[in-house]
Amino acid sequence: MGIYLNPGNTNFWKSIRSEIYVDKTGLIAYTNKCINTTKQYMCVSRPRRFGKSMTLEMLCAYYSRGCDSRELFKGCKIEADQSFDEYLNQYDVLFLNIQRFLSRAGDQKVTEYLEQAVIAELKKAYGECFSKEERRLSAVLEQIYVERDRQFIFLIDEWDCVMRERQEAESLQRQYLDFLRDLLKDQPYVALAYMTGILPVKKYGSHSALNMFWEYSMTDQKELEEYTGFTEPEVKELCGRFGMDFAATSRWYDGYQFKKYRHIYNPRSVVGAMSCGSFSNYWVSTETYEALKVYMDMDFDGLRGDMVQMLGGGHIPVNTRSFQNDMQSLRTKDDVLTLLIHLGYLGYDCERKEAFIPNQEIVEEFENAMSVGGWQEVMRVLKASEKLLEDTLAGEEESVARGLDRAHTEVSSILTYNDENCLSCAIGLAYYSARKDYRIIREMPAGYGFADIVFVPLAHTDKPAMVVELKYNKPAYTAIEQIKERGYIQALEGYQGDIVLAGVAYDREKKDKPHSCVIERLPKEERIPH
C-alpha cells in the first residue's frame, strides 16, 4: 500500500469504529454502475465538512487492490448488493488530495509536484513498464495500461482548491484544468474518476475544460441526494439513540433539500450535537463569520434586500445558471447567491428555483456577520424584536403597531414593501427573537388555505401559539376574519394551549402610521375540538 497508489482501508476503518457512523455505503452500488460507462466521470461538490473526504476513504477501501476489505463492509448496505463481490478490491486506486499538493508545491507548479510524487510510487509497482525519464503522469499510465492492461480508479479530493485559494491566478487555474483534462479525458486507463470539492467544474465563458464530468452539486445532486448529508430517518435514529429532541435538531440543522429528499441535515453539526448532548454552531465554528460577510457586503443591486428578506424567513428567486463556478467571477447578485448555496450558507429549492437560509445554525451566522458593521439598522430591528413579541402576547395592539412602524422605518432603505410577501419577510424579521421559543412557519397549509405565519411553540416554552395573517392596503380586522373563516387554527391541530390570533395590516397611504394591528386570544378551554 502507498500514499497515493492503493492507500488501503485504514482511514475508513477508523470511521466505521467511531461512536457515530451512518452507513452511506449504498453509494458504492451507484459508482459500480458507472464504472467503464458514459457516466464514469463524476464531480461531486458539497459544502465543507459534509463528509466528502470520508466518502473518498470509503471508495478507496472498497476498490483498492492489495487489501482485503470484505470484513470491513460486513453488515453494511453494499454487502447485500449484487455488485459487491464483482468490484471489491479489484482496482488500482490513485487517491489525490489536491490541497496537500498545493500546500507542498511551493514555487513549483502544483501539477509538476503531483506528477513527480505519484510517478515515484508507480515506479515501485510498475517501474518496468515505463521509461525512468518519463515525467508526464498520463504517459506513464498509458504505458502501464498497454503493458499490464491495468485500469485505474481516480479519487480526487479538494479538486477545486486551486480555484478557491489561488483566485487571482487565472493562468495557474487554466494550466491545472488542462492537466486534469489530459490526465483523465478519453483515457483508456480510466475506469472511474470521482472528484469532490466545494465548487462544480470551473467554466470559462460558456465552456468547461472538463466537460466529460457529470455534475452532482448543491443545486442538483441527481442520484446522489441521499448521500449528500444525513436524511430524516437517519437523524431520527440518532436522536433516539442519544436522547436528543428531534424537533429541535431539525430546527437547528435541517433545511437542505433536493427533488426527492426534502430534508437533508448538516452531518458535521448533527454529529457534534449528538456527541456533546447540546445544540450549537458546530459547522460554522470551523470557519469565521468574515467568510460569509465578504459576500453579504457585495454591492450588487438588490442583494442587501434579498439578504434581509431571507433573514425574515423569505425565499428569493435565483438564477444559478450564470455562475462560473469560481469565487472570483461574481458579476451579479445571482452569482453571489449561487456561490452561497454551494458553500452551504443557503439552501436551494430546485423546483421553485429559490434560495433561503436553511436553519437556525446558519441564521445565527448571518446575524454574527451583520453585527460587525454595515447592517446597523437591521441589528436595531433584531434587538427590538423581543419587546415586540412580549407586546403581541400581551395583546398591546397600539404598541405592536408602533413597533412595526419603527422596524419598517429602520429597514425601509433596504427592504421595500411591494406586496404581502415583502410584508411577511419584514414581519419575520421584526419577530426575529421568537425563534428561540417558536418554530416559525410561513405559508402553512391550514383549513381552507394557507396561514401567512404560524408560530408553533417549542417543547421547552409555555408561550402560546400564534397565527399571524397579513393584509396589504386592507383593514387589520379582515385578517382576523380570514383566520376564523378559513379555519387557519387547524394548522395547530393537536396543540392544547392558548392561541393568539394577530391581524397585521400595512397601508402605504398612511405615511406616519402605516401599520395597524388587531389581536385576539383564544383560550384553550374555548377551542372547539375538530
Q: Tens of pLDDT along 383-436? A: 999 999 999 999 999 999 999 999 988 888 787 777 777 788 888 899 999 998
Q: What is the dihedral of CA 92, 187, 220, 79, to 10 degrees?
A: -30
What the block records as the C-alpha cell of 344 is: 452551504
* Domain 384-526 class in CATH: alpha beta
pLDDT tens by residue, 108-162: 889 999 999 999 999 999 999 999 899 999 999 999 999 999 999 999 999 999 9
pLDDT at 53 over 80: yes
HSE (side-chain half, CA atoms, 13 Å) at 108: 13
Q: Pick the most confident of 69-78, 289-298, 443-452.
A: 69-78
Contact, 333 vs 355, CB < 8 A? no
- Whether the pLDDT of residue 286 is over 70: the answer is no
| Across 208-223, average pLDDT | 92
B/e letters for 393-424, b = 16+ CB within 10 Å, e = fewer, are beebbebbbbbbbebbebbeebbebeebbbbb
pLDDT in tens, 190-203: 999 999 999 998 76
Q: What angle do CA 423, 427, 433 make, to 5 degrees?
A: 160
Distance separating alpha carbons of residues 506 and 470, to the nearest angstrom? 8
Q: Is the pLDDT of residue 289 over 70?
A: no
- Cβ pair 201, 208 in contact under 8 A: yes
What is the reported pLDDT for 262? 95
Is there a shared CATH topology between the 10-216 domain and the 384-526 domain?
Answer: no
Quickly count helices (H) and strands (E) in the chain.
20, 17
The grid cell for 390 is 412580549
Band (530; pLDDT cuts 50, 70, 90): very low
User: 365 Cβ partners below 8 Å, 6+ apart?
Assistant: 281, 284, 289, 292, 345
Four-way CATH pick for 10-216: 3.30.1360, 3.40.50, 1.25.40, 3.30.1390: 3.40.50
| Per-residue confidence band for 528, with pLDDT thresholds at 50, 70 and 90 | low
Q: What does the block give as the cell for 111?
A: 501539477
- pLDDT at position 466, please? 96
The DSSP result for 476-527, as a single string, is THHHHHHHHHTTGGGGGTT--S-EEEEEEEE-TT-SS--EEEEEEEE-GGGP
Q: How many degrees, rounded to 5, is the angle at CA 46 between CA 45 and CA 48?
A: 125
In the chain, % of residues over pLDDT 90: 73
Residue-range domain boundaries for the chain:
10-216, 227-280, 286-370, 384-526
Answer yes or no: is pLDDT of 322 > 60. Answer: yes
Q: What is the pLDDT of residue 327?
A: 82
Task: Give me the mean pLDDT over the 368-389 stretch.
Answer: 90
Q: Is the per-residue pLDDT at 480 higher than 70?
A: yes
How large is the average pLDDT for residues 243-257? 95
Of all residues in the chain, what percent carry a pLDDT higher than 70? 97
| CA distance linking residue 258 with residue 240, whole number of Å | 25
Is the per-residue pLDDT at 206 higher than 60? no
Average pLDDT, rounded, for the chain = 92
Residue 213 has pLDDT above 60, yes or no: yes
What is the reported pLDDT for 350? 93
| Integer angstrom CA distances of residue 112 from 118, 261, 309, 498 | 10, 41, 47, 69
Model pTM score: 0.92
Please give the pLDDT value at position 37. Answer: 97
